[in-house]
C-alpha cells in the first residue's frame, strides 16, 4: 500500500522555510542525542534556498552533523549548476558552518567512474540517513530519478544496494549522480518540499492509482506517511 502524503500547508515561502528548518533541526538533534551524530541529505535547485538559510541559523551541535547532497550534476563546484556549491553557500554558513560536508562530485573521465568514487567516499558515513529532504520537478522527477533516465528501474528499486548511481537522461541536461531510492527510504525523516500550484497538481496526479512518475515510487515504497511541505 502506498504511503499517504501528510500535507503541511503554509501561507508563504518564509513560513515554510522556518517550519521545515525547525522540524529538521529537531530530528537532527534527536539523532545526536540517540547515537552521538546525525546524517542529513538535502536537495538542490532554487526551491530550498530559504530553507537552507533558516536551517543554517538553527542552534545545533553541528560538528556532529554530516551533510550530503541527495543528487548532483556531473559538474565541479565552480559551476553555477553545482548542488554542492549551493549547499556550501546557502546551508553551510552561520551555525551550520561547523558541519561536515561530503560531496558527490569527483573529477573523473566518466560519470560512472565518479559514481564509483562517490560511493566509496559515502560507504563509511553513518548510515542510515536521519533526515532526507527531497524536491520535485514539474516532470515528476525527484533526486535524479528522471522519467527518461536509462536506468530508472534501478534508481527506484527499493531493494537495490549501493550508495551512488550514475544517471543519463536527455532532460537532465548533463549526466548526474544520485542516491538510489533504497538509501532515501531508510531515512528516519523523509520529507518533500515543493512550492507552487503547478507542482501540487503534478504531485496529486502522480499519486493517482496507476501513475508512474518517479515521485510516485517514493510514496509507493515509503514506510510511513511522507510530510509534504507546500506553499503557493
Cell of 18: 522556518
Task: Give me the phi and psi of 72, to 5 degrees please.
Answer: -155, 145
Which CATH number goes with the domain that contains 205?
3.40.50.1360
In total, how many domains does the chain have? Answer: 1
- Residue 12: the pLDDT is 98
With CA atoms as reference, report the closest residue to 222 among 179, 194, 184, 180. 184
> Could you read off the pLDDT of 153-172 as tens digits, one per residue?
999 999 998 999 999 999 99
Q: 60 near 31, Cβ under 8 Å?
A: no
Helix H, strand E, coil C: the string for 133-197 is EECCCCCCCECCECCCCCCHHHHCCCCCCCCCEEECCHHHCCCEEECCHHHHHCCCEEEEEEECH
Cβ neighbours around 163 below 10 Å, total = 19
Span 184-210, average pLDDT = 97
Residue 137 CA to its chain's centroid (Å): 13
Span 2-28, average pLDDT = 95
- Residue 77: the pLDDT is 96
Give the residue ranges of DSSP H helices in the chain.
Answer: 13-35, 49-56, 83-90, 111-122, 152-155, 181-185, 197-206, 214-221
Does residue 3 surpass a pLDDT of 80?
no
Cell of 219: 510514496
> Could you read off the pLDDT of 51-79 as tens digits, one per residue?
999 999 999 999 999 999 999 999 999 99
Domain that residue 14 falls in: 5-231
> Could you read off the pLDDT of 96-116 as tens digits, one per residue?
999 999 999 999 999 999 999
Cell of 193: 518540499
- Cα separation of 193 and 155, whole Å? 20
- Residue 14: the pLDDT is 98
Amino acid at each position: 500500500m502506498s504511503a499517504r502524503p501528510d500535507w503541511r500547508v503554509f501561507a508563504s515561502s518564509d513560513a515554510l522555510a522556518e517550519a521545515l528548518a525547525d522540524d529538521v533541526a529537531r530530528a537532527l538533534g534527536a539523532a545526536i542525542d540517540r547515537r552521538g551524530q546525525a546524517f542529513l541529505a538535502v536537495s538542490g535547485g532554487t526551491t530550498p534556498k530559504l530553507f537552507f538559510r533558516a536551517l543554517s541559523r538553527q542552534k545545533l551541535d553541528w560538528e556532529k552533523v554530516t551533510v550530503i547532497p541527495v543528487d548532483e550534476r556531473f559538474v565541479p563546484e565552480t559551476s553555477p549548476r553545482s548542488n554542492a556549491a549551493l549547499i556550501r553557500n546557502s546551508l553551510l554558513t552561520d551555525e551550520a558552518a561547523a558541519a561536515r560536508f561530503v560531496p558527490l562530485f569527483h573529477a573523473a573521465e566518466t560519470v560512472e567512474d565518479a559514481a564509483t568514487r562517490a560511493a566509496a567516499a559515502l560507504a563509511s558515513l553513518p548510515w542510515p540517513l536521519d533526515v532526507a529532504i527531497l524536491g520535485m520537478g514539474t516532470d515528476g522527477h525527484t533526486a535524479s530519478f528522471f522519467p527518461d533516465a536509462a536506468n530508472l528501474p534501478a534508481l527506484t528499486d527499493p531493494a537495490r544496494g549501493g550508495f551512488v548511481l550514475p544517471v543519463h537522461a536527455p532532460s537532465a541536461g548533463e549526466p548526474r549522480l544520485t542516491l538510489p531510492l533504497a538509501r532515501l527510504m531508510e531515512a528516519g525523516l523523509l520529507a518533500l518540499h515543493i512550492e507552487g500550484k503547478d507542482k501540487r497538481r503534478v504531485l496529486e496526479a502522480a499519486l493517482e492509482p496507476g501513475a508512474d512518475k518517479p515521485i510516485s515510487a517514493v510514496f509507493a515504497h515509503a514506510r510511513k506517511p511522507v510530510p509534504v511541505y507546500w506553499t503557493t
